[in-house]
Structures are given as structure tokens and as C-alpha cells.
Amino acid sequence: MAAMDDGARPAWAPPVLRGDRLEAGLRTLELEVRRRLDGLLQGNHLGLVPGPGSEPGEARPYQPGDDVRRMDWAVTARTTEPHIRDSVADRELETWIVADLSASLDFGSALCEKRDLVVCAVAAIAHLTGGGGNRIGALIATGAHTKRVPARGGLPHARGLVKTVATTERAPTGTHGDLAAAVEELRRPPRRRGLVVVISDFLGGTEWQRPLRALSARHDLIGIEVLDPRDVDLPDVGTVVLADPESGKQREVHASPLLRKEFAAAAGAHREQVARGLRRAGAGHLVLRTDSDWIADTVRFVVERKRRWSGAVG
């Protein structure tokens, strides 16, 4: 993907995170994340998880999807309406990120590559879960290898984690990613209750659904789906060459109206399958696109999660 000139890039576009501009890009990314996400920093866990702990909190009306094990039967009997008892957040949170950097992420037709959005998402998660005694770790999977970054606390560690993701070597063309294996690796050894965030384009098979559902028994889950416009529709440019970076295969096709319609329908069906799989696992679903303001999308996602926890409607 050819980089867009700085003068033509909108202010919300991710910074360039490669070559001799990596260090400056990482500094810009950190400043932008802090500036635009600071308004969300409310509560011990900064808005990403409700923070179940040992101390009882406020009771609120039951909402579809709430954990029935937290039902407050005394309030339910008194009001004749189902109520859930929230709990006060623990002061320490352990977050694990599964960062998919397989070959399909090394693509972008808009303002950046999808792997750049993975780096941005990691920076946002590190910021939104940092502070106090919280720790964050990661599994970085390229298909060729998987790198584990131990969970630790502190700003230097968070910065190092983001840089590690940004500097991870690209997988050779023809290397198949295995998101399901990376998610499964988090289950061994079992970890105390925390937050698991899976960042991927979720292209290909959906074998990751089973290990993700298994993780939901102990952890809060968030799935961050990274998309490019060409993942969901073909351009109306006549003949195009389609390439699968995870198999190395290429095919030249004529982007006729019928083909473009069928491609969009198949892509839409797959996107719905991904969304359904994340819902069944009880995971929050955030979509980031290479042609959209990723921080604004993140803000909307976090605010909506807060509204659901508080029982707000409308």
C-alpha cells in the first residue's frame, strides 16, 4: 500500500509506524490516545470492564445478557422486577491481548494497513486498562511464530508492548495464520479472572469460536475486528488481481456488477458470522476500519458498554 502524503492525511489518521518514522509515530500515537481517550477514564478499570470484585455495589434492573448468577433476589422480591447486584471493581486487573499479525493484516487500501490498526488498538487497550496495580500482556501471532509478552504493569512496559507489536516481523507470503491456536494458548495455564482482547480481521475460518467461548467462563472478552474497504466490496475498476497473502495465490478477474454484488454478499455473510460468534462467546464487538476514525469508533464502543452496565436505555 502506498502511503498517503502527510498533507493529504486527515488529522484522525493513524501515524506512520514503520521505517525511520517508527519512533516519532509511536510518540504521536501515545499522545493522541491519551488526549482523546482521557474523557473515558472513569472508574477503577477505565471503562472497559465492569470490574466484578468482592464488595457488593448498587442494584440495578436486569438487562438481557446479564449474568444471572449476580441476581439480587432480595431486591427482586421487594420490587417484583428482576434486579442485578453489581460489585465494586477490584483494584487490579490483568489484561491479555491476542494480536493477530498474520499475512492478511499486511494490507490496506485506505489510510493505513490493517496491521497499523492492530498497533493502534493495542495502544488504546494499554491506555484504557493501565494504572494502579493493573498488568497487561500479549500473544502476538503471525502464523510463522507466536511471541508471548508477559503481563506486567507500568508505563514503560506498556510502551514496550506497543513497540513490540509495531516491530513484529511480517509473516512470509504463503504463511497461514492460526487465530484459534493463539486464543487456545491463553487457556494454559488457567489464569485468574481478567480481560481478554482479541484483535484480528477474522478472515478465513471461524475455528476460534470454541476456544473463545471456553475463555468466557473466566474472563471478560472483547473482539476487535479490523477491516479494510476492500475486505467487504470490490472496486468498480474493470479487471483486478485478487491475491490471498496467506496462500500466495493470485487470480485476475473482471469486476463485473454481478461479481461485485456476489462478493459483497459473501463478505457480508462472513461479517455476520463473525459478529454472531463473538456474541455467542459473550464478547464485546468493536469494528475498526482503515478508512474511519478509529479513536472515535473506540469511544463510541466504550460509551455504549458503560450505558449497558448502568442499565440505560434509548
Q: Is 245 exposed, middle or buried (0-12, 13-18, 19+ CB in 10 A)?
A: buried
Residues of the chain with pLDDT under 70: 1-7, 39-57, 87-91, 190, 309-314
User: Crossing angle of helices 114-128/155-166, nearest 10°?
Assistant: 170
Q: Could you give the angle at the alpha carbon of 119 between the alpha carbons of 115 and 122, nearest 5°?
A: 135
pLDDT of residue 66: 77
pLDDT of residue 199: 98
Strand partners, 223: 198, 285
- Do the bridges between strand 135-141 and strand 220-227 make them parallel or antiparallel, or are there none, so unpaired? unpaired
pLDDT of residue 7: 53
